[in-house]
Structure 1
């Protein structure tokens, strides 16, 4: 069991569905103790962040870019821009991620810090790998290797609470697309990037880009231990309105009402479960929270 799983097990609630009411006399202490990490735990945490960043940089600089193979998301757009402008991929990655980082800083500085460290690491490793020759000049091998390394790298970063490639989670996108399903917006954006890759690199490379994109997606889930980054929980409280208002201000939460006025089901990113628990307990020490059974929340998808 990794450090992150240990922290989530302590801070989150059992997936078995058993009720675990927060005690009135310790709304903050339990969360603080569960979040305490030893020096060794911190070493493992940051070590895995570094490993994930190295894997992502290797996939981008030693497989995908030299062979004209792109993926979806900001990484794929950066590969296209680096090819067209002849700028270093590291610089393009930083410039493309900068608006998302600034938007995070304006809304939630802690989320911005989660994005800043992995971004800096990936940019640095990509910069230093730039002079290194490509591992293979075969586009199929590049698509397979690049998708594997990039997906695993980003998955490890997410597993450790970091963030990278924030195309699907940027705050400025929410007002513009609030009437559209987030998955549809992400699909259209990725499709546009892959189609543009076909125009820039050719039809054959576009097919390899699709392979790389699909493989990146599945390897990202593997790097995140096959879990959805979203956890579904059930909240019972007589102060549900106040809880919802406070949670919406500080965290990304998707609320699903149940109709009785005191119970709600909500989706929250796993990395925010501990913070949500402390926030709700601080407002209503008698709040009851339980995890939704796995078969009721199978393969939950990220949301905006």
Structure 2
């Protein structure tokens, strides 16, 4: 049997699809996407502006909230360069290296969000379980180090991804399934063994989402134990109420991730539009809802927004 020598091939560009079969409706589809981007960027910038200008909000909880808002801005801005040109102007081509860069930033910001939510869970744990040492435990330098550790951990975990893709021969097609570049989507186009990509991708997800979610759950178990030991019902309610915003943010982030993972494993027969919609929810919903959640459920933020705009 003649041996077939596979030469490394990387296309100059990838073609993004958005919603396959609905290309004629892309100008109309661009309207909700523009609204999503505008609302997400406006909401997160508002949170950052309010915390920056009001010195009474220069506390650990609001510093972590600023980290979350900055990260959500990063998520929105990393997808915007391909999503809006595709839906608004029909520009579907993206350069190979630009696609790798976008993939790196999208996954990095997603990993960072998981780490920031864990840091916010630690903040709630210290505030409720050890309130007397809250200020001395979460000092500004320590908060900065926590933020730096989240960034370094996420970028270090994602650093091999572009090289793992670049070593693969992309010869099946250059057509991607979404309006942005993702590692699993690019990996499927390879006509070589992708075992290393699969193993490392699974390790990165498990080490990031798995560990972070486990520690978040453990933090809330200890918080619940501490709250149940409070004698006053009113104080118990007040303590739990400070966690509502963070719990909503955790659910907003992790529920779509779990849904995408379950659909990827067990819903392969589902229509492609279902997979595309779930991926869009996973990327676009948290940056949109997080400012809304904290504006509605956090009294201090809500009061300052009301004073500023009303």
**TM-score in terms of structure 2 length:** 0.30
**TM-score in terms of structure 1 length:** 0.30
Higher helix share: 2
If you compute each CA radius of gyration, which structure gives the higher value, 1 or 2? 2
Higher strand share: 1
